[in-house]
Amino acid sequence: MPLAWDSFLDRYRPMAIAIARSLARAPAVAEDIVQEAALTLVRVLAQDPARFESVEHARNYFLRTVRNLALKSGRTAAREQPLEGEPAARDDDSAARILVGRQRALARILLELDPASRALIARRFLEQQTLARIAADTRVPISTLHDREKALLAELRRRLEADGEREETDQEAAG
């Protein structure tokens, strides 16, 4: 399927930019994301000119690539800004104190997890690996990993809520 690039980009570029702006962390990178998606489409067509049955298939591929690149840029941007340390909580900033307290509680709870659970959490949320990748590496079915992750997150939420309730009770007793 030969593409008329000018008409293709004239028609779908505004939609692609809107998708990129809505999903990318920094809206200024939307143009770059759309350009990278267009280059990806060009490469795919160069390798396999008959890959797409119609312009709509090419459009879907292009827009899906924009979406994936925009989401990836957001994840990458989050990793590129490391925390310098704990935020300085002023005495009058109760929201910051609560946040720091919850972060400490979560860190303590994560350290109490068994090594396999801690490794799953680290791979999913620190290394941002997909369940498919973890399944391929560990030879554990994706459905099993999904069930483990779901149960583990529910347990973490339950323990954090219990910790928060315990802390509130302690503060009421002390205050």
DSSP letters, 7-54, are HHHHHHHHHHHHHHHHHSSSGGGHHHHHHHHHHHHHHHHHH-TTS-SS
Query: Cα–Cα distances in Å, from 119 out to 4, 126, 156?
Result: 49, 10, 14
The answer to whether 44 touches 3, Cβ cutoff 8 Å, is: no
Percent of the chain with pLDDT over 70: 81
pLDDT over threshold 60, residue 81: no
Q: Kind and range of the H or E element at 94?
A: helix 94-112
DSSP state for residue 122 in the 8-state scheme: I
The answer to whether 62 touches 41, Cβ cutoff 8 Å, is: yes
Q: What is the mean pLDDT of residues 121-135?
A: 86
pLDDT band at 10 (very low <50, low <70, confident <90, very high): confident
pLDDT band at 55 (very low <50, low <70, confident <90, very high): confident
pLDDT over threshold 90, residue 52: no
Where are the CATH 1.10.10.10 domain residues in the chain?
94-174
Select, from the ranges 39-43, 70-74, 75-79, 92-96, the one with the highest average predicted confidence (pLDDT).
39-43
Q: What angle do CA 152, 153, 155 make, to 5 degrees?
A: 65
Q: Identify which has the larger pLDDT, 13 or 144.
A: 144
Burial of 33 (0-12, 13-18, 19+ CB in 10 A): buried
Q: Identify which has the larger pLDDT, 76 or 12.
A: 12
pLDDT digits (tens, 9 = 90+) for 130-165: 888 899 999 999 999 999 999 999 999 999 888 877
Q: What is the pLDDT of residue 76?
A: 56
Token pair recorded at residue 17: 């930019």
The candidate with the shortest Cα–Cα distance to 7, out of 66, 69, 59, is 59
Mean pLDDT for the chain overall = 81
Sole residue written with tokens 């000119």: 49
pLDDT digits (tens, 9 = 90+) for 82-103: 555 655 545 567 777 777 888 8
pLDDT over threshold 60, residue 78: no
- CATH fold for the domain made of 94-174: Arc Repressor Mutant, subunit A (1.10.10)
Rounded CA separation 102/106 (Å): 6
